A = this chain, B = another copy of it.
Amino acid sequence: MPLMNDTIVLAIVDDHPIVIEGLRTLLKEEPQISIAGSFTRGKDFMDFLQHNKVDLVLLDIMLPDTSGMDLCRDIKKMSPDTVVLALSNHTERSIILQILQNGASGYLVKNVSSTELLNCLKEALKGEIAFSKEVKEIITRPAQHEFKKVPTLTKREKQILQLVSQGKTTPMMAQELNVSPLTIETHRRNLLQKFDVKNVAELMMAAVQHKMITGI
């Protein structure tokens, strides 16, 4: 965490040039903030982070190459002192909590006002958790279904979940992945267990709910 009277080195990771430009303009007013760079791909930022110190990252959790979730974890792993503020349009409670679980210090929806944005930046740098107004409301009023914990899947499990959603059967997947059908069955069983469901129908619904499979 940088001292408050130091210059804060900030980076932006977002695949929308318009948003990047907007953030740059809003933050340019602040003398103690220096924008080190902006990136449209997660990998580019990780390369940058290897050779540069960054105090705070504004991170869009929907990126074309990597999931922002994974990127967040990678950032905190490589540079634990870097504060990550998630920036997104998703208003699902589960997603917000998930990104916090992955090490983010806060969550802003993209319709924040400039003053709100600056306040959140300051809070996050002080070591506090920062939420924009709308997000605070979402956090404080949880829905019933939100209580279900989001399971963490392994790489293979994610892959198989995707294939199942495409209607692939166990034998088909076994052939496609060059493993025994029995192996696929084990993965399927683990998926059912992790999601706490009884069959594929429920599995698909749960996965969609948690946005763990892309609709198309």
Contact = CB atoms under 8 A, between A and B. Distances in A.
Interface of A: 15-26, 40, 89, 110-114, 117, 143, 145, 164-167, 169, 197-205, 208-209, 213, 215-216
A16 B111 contact: yes
Nearest to A215: B209
A167 B197 contact: yes
Given A18-B22, A18-B117, A201-B201, 14 more contacts: A15-B111, A16-B110, A17-B26, A18-B19, A19-B19, A21-B21, A22-B25, A166-B201, A167-B197, A200-B201, A200-B204, A205-B208, A208-B208, A209-B215
Nearest to A144: B216
B15 A21 contact: no
Contacts of A19: 16, 18-19, 22, 110
A201 B165 CA distance: 5
A110 B40 CA distance: 13
A114 B165 contact: no
B145 A216 contact: yes
A122 to B, nearest CB: 17
B201 A164 contact: yes
Given A201-B165, A201-B167, A215-B208, A114 B17 contact: yes
A17 to B, nearest CB: 5
A138 to B, nearest CB: 12
Complex A-B, nearest 7 residue pairs according to Cβ-Cβ distance, in ascending order? A22-B22, A167-B202, A21-B22, A204-B204, A18-B22, A25-B25, A200-B201
A197 B204 CA distance: 14
B208 A114 contact: no
Nearest to A89: B89
